[in-house]
Amino acid sequence: MKIAQYLEAGELRLGRVEGGRLFPCEFDGDMIDFIQRSSSLETAGTPVALDRVPFAPAVSRPSKIIAIGLNYMDHVRESKGTVPDSPLVFAKFPNSLAAHGEPVSWDPDVTRKVDFEAELAVIIGRKATRVSESEALGTVFGYTCGNDVSARDLQFGDGQWVRGKSLDTFCPLGPWIVTADEIPDPHDLAVSCRVNGRLMQESRTDQMIFRLPQLLSYLSRHFTLVPGDVILTGTPHGVGAFRDPPVYLQDGDQVVVEIERVGVLANPCRTRSQ
């Protein structure tokens, strides 16, 4: 099942996505409420063509957005990094969330080196503390497309990553969540990113260094995962910062992240003043 959050008269609603249309659902609550209640999702109302849906972020109030650095071998090589002995964990603040179709925006007085990172995002479905690798995938509610947008001048200048990763709109997530039962093997998915139609990243999730069972078990040993938590599982090679010459996002660009069997997440880029 594909489940989306969208806006109707300024209120968050849930809908099921089928056959190129969104079917509004009768449910009192948002995506996290739905995950927590394990409720049925009955459709009601007139379906809407997807290109007319005002999407909201796939999850709008996660307790945590956890991201993993250097989790694809090809990305380690292009960044001239060292293969980590354990997952490299950092955080993005929830204010960074953005919806499919929403502009990724930034103040050029704050950053001039804005980069793209296509990633498979995991949405946690149940509380997990010290979960074993054999049980880890059972904690997953579903998957969505993520873009770990990064202000490289802040990231590298600070010596730690939170500020450069957490600017407003720097975590597009969506357009919907595909429930875990529809993705029997999350390590067999194509991942790509295009900027203005130019293919920049192309890989597969089987190239992850730390696969999801190991990753989820590791994270849950350090902090409890709760329904609605978002885990960005790393990006493959092709990001702008490590190209020669570097390629950074500009006002008017269009960034499209596509993940096989999950969906297509598209965002325009806009500069703005504070």
Give 77-86 pLDDT, tens digit per residue: 888 888 899 9
Q: DSSP for 41-96? A: -EE-S--EEGGG--B--SSSS-S-EEEEES-BHHHHHHTT----SS-EEEEE-GGG
**Cα–Cα separations (whole angstroms), residue 245 to 174, 206, 224, 239:** 30, 28, 41, 12
Let me know how many helices (H) and strands (E) the chain has, helices first.
6, 19
Q: Flag whether pLDDT at 39 surpasses 90.
A: no
pLDDT of 3:
98
Q: Flag whether pLDDT at 38 surpasses 80.
A: no
Cis upstream peptide for 24 (omega within 30°)? no
For the segment 72-78, the average pLDDT, to the nearest whole number, is 88
Percent of the chain with pLDDT over 90: 90
pLDDT of 40:
80
**CA atoms of 241 and 246, how far apart (whole Å):** 5
Please enumerate in sequence order all residues whose Cβ is within 8 A of that of 19, keeping only pairs 6 or more positions apart, or say none: none
Residue 74: pLDDT band (50, 70, 90) is: confident
**CA atoms of 246 and 262, how far apart (whole Å):** 29
For the segment 34-55, the average pLDDT, to the nearest whole number, is 91
Residue 274: pLDDT band (50, 70, 90) is: low
pLDDT tens-digit profile of 94-146? 999 999 999 999 999 999 999 999 999 999 999 999 999 999 999 999 999 99
pLDDT tens-digit profile of 231-247? 999 999 999 999 999 99
Q: What type of residue is 77?
A: R
Residue 44: pLDDT band (50, 70, 90) is: confident
| Maximum pairwise Cα distance, the chain | 53
Residue 68: pLDDT band (50, 70, 90) is: very high
End-to-end CA distance of the chain: 40
pTM of the full structure? 0.96
Q: By the 8 A CB rule, do 42 and 14 touch?
A: no
**DSSP label at residue 153:** H
For the segment 17-44, the average pLDDT, to the nearest whole number, is 92
Structure tokens at 95: 């204010």
pLDDT of 80:
84
Quick one: which of 164, 148, 158 has its CA closest to 110?
164
Q: By the 8 A CB rule, do 81 and 56 touch?
A: no
pLDDT tens-digit profile of 170-227? 999 999 999 999 999 999 999 999 999 999 999 999 999 999 999 999 999 999 999 9
pLDDT of 78:
87
**CA atoms of 232 and 140, how far apart (whole Å):** 13
Residues written for the chain: 274
Domain residue ranges in the chain: 1-56, 57-271
Please enumerate in sequence order all residues whose Cβ is within 8 A of that of 44, keeping only pairs 6 or more positions apart, or say none: 24, 25, 26
pLDDT of 236:
96
pLDDT averaged over every residue in the chain? 96
128 forms beta bridges with 225
Please enumerate in sequence order all residues whose Cβ is within 8 A of that of 144, keeping only pairs 6 or more positions apart, or say none: 58, 121, 123, 173, 174, 175, 176, 177, 178, 262, 263, 265
Q: By the 8 A CB rule, do 131 and 217 touch?
A: yes
Please enumerate in sequence order all residues whose Cβ is within 8 A of that of 29, keeping only pairs 6 or more positions apart, or say none: 14, 37
**CA atoms of 31 and 223, how far apart (whole Å):** 22
pLDDT of 159:
87
Structure tokens at 211: 């696969």
**CA atoms of 124 and 131, how far apart (whole Å):** 12
User: Which CATH number describes the domain made up of 57-271?
Assistant: 3.90.850.10
